[in-house]
Every structure is written in C-alpha cells, then in structure tokens.
C-alpha cells in the first residue's frame, strides 16, 4: 500500500532501528517541522496563484500568464521580489512589537496545523480536544493583528486592528456554535473520531437541515475570521490603505500575507473535516462497485480535493460580493448568525438525542 501513513511508518521504523528513542523523537520533531514549513511554502505559492487566477477568470480577465509556462511561476517571482525588498521599520514604531507581530501570526498558523488529518492515519497530533484546540489557538491570531496595528504608530493601522479585533471576537462565537453542531452529532472533539463517524456518509449528507445551516454559517464565519472579502474591513484598501499591515514591507509583509493564506487553508481543512468527511471517500449506500472505485483514490487526494473546493468557495465569495460596512458586519453577526446558530444547535441536539440522522 502506497500512502502517506505507510511512508511515515517506514521512516519511524528506520529511525527506531538506527537511533535510540530520544534521538528518534527529536529527529521526528525536526522532520515534522520541516514538513510543515515545506507545506507552508508550497501552499503559499499555490494559493496565491490560485487566487489570482480565480479572480481573473471571475472578472473575465486572463490573470498572470507571463512568468513561466501559463504564468505558473508568477508566485515564485513575487516571492523573489518580496525577499529582496527592504524590511522597513518606521521611526515612531514600537520596534520590538512591530518586529514580533508577523512571527506570532506565523507561529499561530503553524500550531494550527497540528491536529489536521491530512490522510488516513496521517496526523501530527491527534489530541482529544482537536477541534477545541483549533478554535482556542486561532484566537491568538487576533493578538498579532492588534500588535501589528498598535506598534505601527499609524492611524490606519490602528483602525484596521480595532475593526479586525471586533470582527474576529464576534465571529468566533458563531463559528464555534456551528462547530458545536457537529460535535453534538459526533459526541467527540477528537478529529479522528469525527472523521470515523462519517465513514457511512458525510455529515453534510446525513445531517439534514441543521448541518446545512451550520455549514453555511461556518463558511460565513470563517470568511470573516480570516479577514477576507466581503469581510476584509481590517485591511480595506479603499479606506485604510492596507489596514494593520500598512507599514510592513518585504519579508515581514510576506509573513502576514502567507499567514492569511495558511489560515484560509486551515479553516477550510477544518470545514472539510467536520462537514465533508476529511479524508473519507465518497460512499453511496450499498453500491459496492462505486464504493470500491472511490476507495481506490488515495485518502490524501480526497482531503486536499475537499479542502481546495472550500478554498475555491471562499475565493468565489471574495470576488463576488462587495465589502460590508462595520455596522452591517456586526448586525449580521449579532442579529442573524448568532441567534440562528443557537437555535440550530438546539435543533441538532434534539436530532442527536432522537437519532433522526442516518
């Protein structure tokens, strides 16, 4: 069997036979770190190009098509440009905070990678509070934005940071409640349990109305939490130039930029895990021929396929809808999403108790 879990096991065996357990652990940690950083770089390159292509096609344009064949090397060229640019620190800035902030954004994004199951039995840390861990750690994200906005000593940055803080703190609620719907149905916070519970059908298929509602609310809330249009008030370029990262340039800006895309990937991965079955292949009842054909596709392909589908959905939102005003944004959360998701949670609980789902 040729799968990621198999490769990981082989490496583990080989390391165990060659070194003593402590060194094995250290080397495995280093390998995991390198793998995560490599994934970050690859995701950054792919997602930036994908975003620009999707944007162009939606706006009936061509998009990047000059650098490399079909413009595939465009994001490489962008990276090169950002690396050689000067990383400027403004004179009036709080220098320590200013320079730490992008790294905090990056570290948080890295920590969030831990409980995500990329393929069957392939996960960095299957801790028993998986989903809660993600919601908890992602709330540190707002701190990096507040730090960046404050320490830049710039009114636009400060306003962007305040908007972003208000936005993330409020949308965390409905994102959390829509995740709760799935947790109520599954009865566990552990990522592997949630995926296992979907072996006979993804929650979006067997969960009926409450899961559909919570899926819609989840997508809206995470779009807001990752500060993407139509909720990109934190960096609204027409009002605040670039919001909290106005003063950042070069690699420090690139870290913020990368962290945004990594966060999009992570929330989409969580969405795919909760609602679309993670790495679970698509199965239809007792149609065995079809099910076997689906099983033949590797689980990592399923996972990345679903995640990229959700990423496409979020990009599609971004290039379709106009930006909201701050009062509209908070109205949407507190008057619509929060009451609906609370009611929806009650509905899902009733459904779970009565066993109405398949």
Partner 1 sequence: MFLTDYIKDVTGALKSLATGMKRTLYYFTHHKEIITEQYPDNRATLVMADRFKGEVVMPHDEKNEHRCTGCTACELACPNGTIKVVTKFDITPEGKKKKAIDKLVYHLELCTMCNLCVQACPSDAIKMAQTFEHSVFDRSKLTKILNNPGSKIMEGVE
Partner 2 sequence: MMNGSTILFYTLAALTLTCGVLSIATRHIFRAAIYLLFSLIGIAGIYFWLSYEFIAAVQIVVYVGGIVVLIIFSIFLTHQAGEKLPKQQLNRGIWAMLAVFCGFALTMVQVLQHPFPSGDGLHPVTVRQIGEKMLSTTDGGYALPFEIISMLLLAAMVGCIVIALRSKPETT
Interacting residues with partner 1 (CB under 8 A) = 54, 57-62, 216, 316-317, 319-321, 336, 340
Query: From partner 2, partner 1, none, which one binds at residue 336 (CB under 5 to 8 Å depending on kind)?
Result: partner 1
Q: Which does 31 bind (CB under 5 to 8 A by kind): partner 1, partner 2, none?
A: none
Q: In a 3-state reduction of DSSP, which class is residue 122?
A: strand
SS3 7: helix
Query: Which does residue 142 bind out of partner 1, partner 2, none, counting CB within 5 to 8 angstroms by kind?
Result: partner 2
Q: How far is the CB of 319 from partner 1 (least distance, A)?
A: 6
Least CB distance from residue 94 to partner 2, whole Å?
A: 7
What tokens were used for 38? 């490599």
Cα separation, 236 vs 322, whole angstroms = 11
What phi and psi values does residue 143 have, to the nearest 5 degrees?
A: -65, -40
Q: Which is nearer to partner 1, 54 or 262 (CB)?
A: 54
Measured from the CB of residue 306, what is the shortest distance to partner 2 in angstroms? 25
Least distance CB 211 / partner 1 (angstroms): 16
137 contact choice in partner 1, partner 2, none (CB below 5 to 8 Å, kind-dependent): partner 2
331 binds, among partner 1, partner 2, none (CB under 5 to 8 A by kind): none
Q: How far is the CB of 170 from partner 2 (least distance, A)?
A: 11
Site size with partner 2, rule: CB under 8 A: 31
Min dist. Cβ of residue 60 to partner 1 (A): 5
Partner that binds at residue 132, options partner 1, partner 2, none, CB closer than 5 to 8 Å by kind: partner 2
Element holding 276 (H helix, E strand): none
Whole-number Cα distances in Å, 344 to 32, 113, 207, 215: 38, 29, 12, 11
Largest separation between any pair of C-alpha atoms in the chain: 68
Q: Two tokens at 95? A: 């220098």
86 or 91: CB nearest partner 2: 91
* 179/272 Cα distance (integer angstroms): 12
The alpha-helical segments, DSSP class H, found in the chain are 4-18, 21-58, 74-84, 95-112, 130-138, 141-151, 155-186, 191-196, 203-206, 208-225, 237-240, 250-275, 288-296, 299-318, 326-331, 338-354
Residues 127-186 that bind partner 2 (CB under 8 A): 127-129, 132-133, 135-137, 139-140, 142-143, 146-147, 150-151, 153, 158, 161-162, 165, 169, 172
- What is the per-residue binding string for partner 2 in 87-106, x denoting contact by CB under 8 A? -------x-xx---------
* 119 phi and psi angles, rounded to 5 deg: -160, 180
Q: Which of 25, 41, 62, 209 binds partner 2 (CB under 8 A)?
A: 25
Phi-psi region of 70 (alpha: psi -120 to 50; beta: other; left: phi over 0): left
Taking the least distance from each CB to partner 2, the nearer of 74 and 152 is 152
Distance of closest approach, residue 340 Cβ to partner 1, in angstroms: 7
Owner of token pair 């879990």: 5
Size (the chain), residues? 358
83 near 251, Cβ under 8 Å?
yes
Judged by CB under 8 A, the residue of 22, 60, 327, 354 near partner 2 is 22
For CA atoms 148, 255, 176, 136, give the dihedral sign: negative
SS (H, E, C) 131-173: HHHHHHHHCCHHHHHHHHHHHCCCHHHHHHHHHHHHHHHHHHH
251 binds, among partner 2, partner 1, none (CB under 5 to 8 A by kind): none
Closer to partner 2 by CB, 151 or 307: give it: 151
* Tokens linked to 75: 């994001």
Least distance from partner 2 to the Cβ atom of residue 96, Å: 8
Partner from partner 1, partner 2, none contacting 321, C-beta within 5 to 8 A by type: partner 1
- Interface residues with partner 2 (CB under 8 A)? 22, 25, 94, 96-97, 127-129, 132-133, 135-137, 139-140, 142-143, 146-147, 150-151, 153, 158, 161-162, 165, 169, 172, 187-189
């Amino acid at each position: 069997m040729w799968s990621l879990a198999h490769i990981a096991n082989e490496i583990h065996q080989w390391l165990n036979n060659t070194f003593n357990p402590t060194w094995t652990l250290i080397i495995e940690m280093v390998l995991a770190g390198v793998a995560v950083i490599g994934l970050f770089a690859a995701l950054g390159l792919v997602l930036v190009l994908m975003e620009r292509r999707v944007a162009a096609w939606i706006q009936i344009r061509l998009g990047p098509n000059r650098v490399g064949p079909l413009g595939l090397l465009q994001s490489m060229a962008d990276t090169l440009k950002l690396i050689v640019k000067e990383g400027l620190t403004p004179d009036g800035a709080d220098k320590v905070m200013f320079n730490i902030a992008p790294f905090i954004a990056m570290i948080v994004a890295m920590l969030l990678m831990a409980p995500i199951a990329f393929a069957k039995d392939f996960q960095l840390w299957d801790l028993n509070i998986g989903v809660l861990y993600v919601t908890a750690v992602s709330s540190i994200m707002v701190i990096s934005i507040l730090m960046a906005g404050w320490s830049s000593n710039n009114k636009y940055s400060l306003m962007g940071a305040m908007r972003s803080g208000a936005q993330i703190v409020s949308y965390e609620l409905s994102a959390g409640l829509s995740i709760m719907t799935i947790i109520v149905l599954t009865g566990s916070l552990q990522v592997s349990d949630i995926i296992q519970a979907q072996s006979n059908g993804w929650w979006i298929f067997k969960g009926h109305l409450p899961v559909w509602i919570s899926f819609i609310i989840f997508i809206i809330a995470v779009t807001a939490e990752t500060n993407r249009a139509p909720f990109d008030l934190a960096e609204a370029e027409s009002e605040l130039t670039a919001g909290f990262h106005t003063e950042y340039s070069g690699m420090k800006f690139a870290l913020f930029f990368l962290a945004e895309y990594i966060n999009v990937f992570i929330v989409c991965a969580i969405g795919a895990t909760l609602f679309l079955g993670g790495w679970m292949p698509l199965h239809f009842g007792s149609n065995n021929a079809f099910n076997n054909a689906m099983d033949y596709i590797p689980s990592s392909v399923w996972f990345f396929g679903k995640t990229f589908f959700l990423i496409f959905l979020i990009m599609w939102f971004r290039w379709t809808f106009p930006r909201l005003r701050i009062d509209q944004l908070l109205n949407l959360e507190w008057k619509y999403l929060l009451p609906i998701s609370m009611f929806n949670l009650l509905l899902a609980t009733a459904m779970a108790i009565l066993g109405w789902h398949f």
